[in-house]
Structure 1
């Protein structure tokens, strides 16, 4: 392992912690301002920060015609994700919300790819889907059918699905991550812009916002979306898809830890079990390789 790889391994831990800490920070934000206002401000901030970077890195500004539809679809799904993301936090814990969204989304993505993409389903992928289904029962605290339909579950299962479509569209679009983020954020901001005209209490919310609010906003917008996302994509490029992608498994764990220390949320046993099962499911669906078994046999012998 050379110095560059060691640097990006440390950087990936930092990026995953930024993604995770955005959950408790978002919970703090919605206690002081309307979710629509926060979403609009977030997307405008991301767009303003990414646009100059595109000039710095000489990324072509204008998308091709065939990319416009994909960008628009991703923008709508991204706006829907943010709507469900911020609104859903009013119904429950940020830690459990982060675990549900960050673990169910890749599971949904694998399932949709298998069902509609005609992808061959291996034994370990079938095991991953079973683990994902069981993890959902624990994470959503399903005791009967009515418990599945409580607002918290509906919002964050919906958020996981919306983010799944953003991810799938981004892969199909084959755009530079900064360019994709720039246009998607712009479209999402425009979709939330009507709140500036029809919303109430906007000026009052901003006037009473304290330093904690603005620090959390910085984390949720610039650090989480611009900095962490850029580090992640570069890390995947340097470390490889499997090694780089494996760091995503840290996000739900970090989300529980940060929510405990920042908000005092104590995860219950079902959430912890569901988190472990979901991480195993993501591993089997996205990261597992036969060589891993050979490594384990060699290590234990």
Structure 2
């Protein structure tokens, strides 16, 4: 492995940690401030931080009419995702919420593409969808039909759906990741702006927060969105789509581990089984390659 590939392999591990740590950090934020205010501040700060990066990397600010439409649609779904994300964390564990959202979102995205995109569905992809549905039963702790509709499940099923739409729209927009993030964050911030008129104001709302809040806020906004996203897309460029994309499977695992250490959340057996099944489903849907079978044969058979 070349030095550049080794560097980006380590960098991708770091990026996945930053994405995963945003879950326990967000849980901490919701204990001290209103979810709407957190989302507004997060999007505003992300937008301000990405602007100079676009100048440094000479990324054009221009948008075509179709790109403008896609950015607005993505901004709406991104705002909805954040609303469900922060509000939902008040109902349950950050670790399980992280696993549900990060695993069900790509599964929902694949399902939407197959149903509405007229895409041919292979046997492997059908198996992936079945695994995904079974994983949902474990992750959502579904014992009876009524248990599916508890607030925690509804918020994070909605969050996973909203993020799957953001991902699908981002592919249609055909924009540089930083540029897409910049405009989507701006649109999302605008949608949360009315909170300032309805709430008691930023200064008054944040009067009682402590230093832990600000550390977590910087992690959730700057490190998780700006830094981790930049590393991820550069890593995919260097390592390739399949190798780079495979690092996403680490996020739900890291989310569980970090929530255990930071919030003392202990995942139950159902969550662990659901996490394993969901990761297998994502692999079957998006990351499987025939070369992986050849590699396993060489490893175990020789």
Per the normalisation by structure 2, the TM-score is 0.98
C-alpha deviation, 1:205, in angstroms: 2.9
C-alpha deviation, 1:290, in angstroms: 1.3
Q: What residue in structure 2 maps to residue 56 of structure 1?
A: 56
C-alpha deviation, 1:201, in angstroms: 6.3
Q: What residue in structure 2 maps to residue 181 of structure 1?
A: 181
Unaligned stretches of 5+ in structure 2?
Answer: none
Q: Once the two structures are superposed, what CA deviation does each residue of 1:107-143 show, in whole Å capped at 9, x if it has no partner?
A: 0011111111111111111111110000000000000
C-alpha deviation, 1:207, in angstroms: 1.6
Q: Once the two structures are superposed, what CA deviation does each residue of 1:198-232 show, in whole Å capped at 9, x if it has no partner?
A: 11364333121111000000000000000000000
- Does 13-22 or 199-208 show the bigger shift? 199-208
CA–CA separation in structure 1 for the residues paired with 2:123 and 2:297:
20
CA–CA separation in structure 1 for the residues paired with 2:34 and 2:177:
29
CA–CA separation in structure 2 for the residues paired with 1:225 and 1:213:
17
Q: What residue in structure 2 maps to residue 27 of structure 1?
A: 27
Please state if 1:97 is matched with 2:97: yes
Q: What residue in structure 1 maps to residue 240 of structure 2?
A: 240
Q: Which runs of 4+ in 1 moved over 6 A?
A: none
Q: Indicate how the Cα distance of structure 1 residues 70 and 229 shifts in structure 2: closer, same or farther if over 3 A, else same.
A: same
CA–CA separation in structure 1 for the residues paired with 2:241 and 2:117:
20
Aligned residues: 301
C-alpha deviation, 1:293, in angstroms: 1.1
Q: What residue in structure 2 maps to residue 296 of structure 1?
A: 296
Unaligned stretches of 5+ in structure 1?
Answer: none
Q: CA RMSD in A?
A: 0.8
Q: Once the two structures are superposed, what CA deviation does each residue of 1:239-294 show, in whole Å capped at 9, x if it has no partner?
A: 00000000000000000000000000000000000000000000000100112111
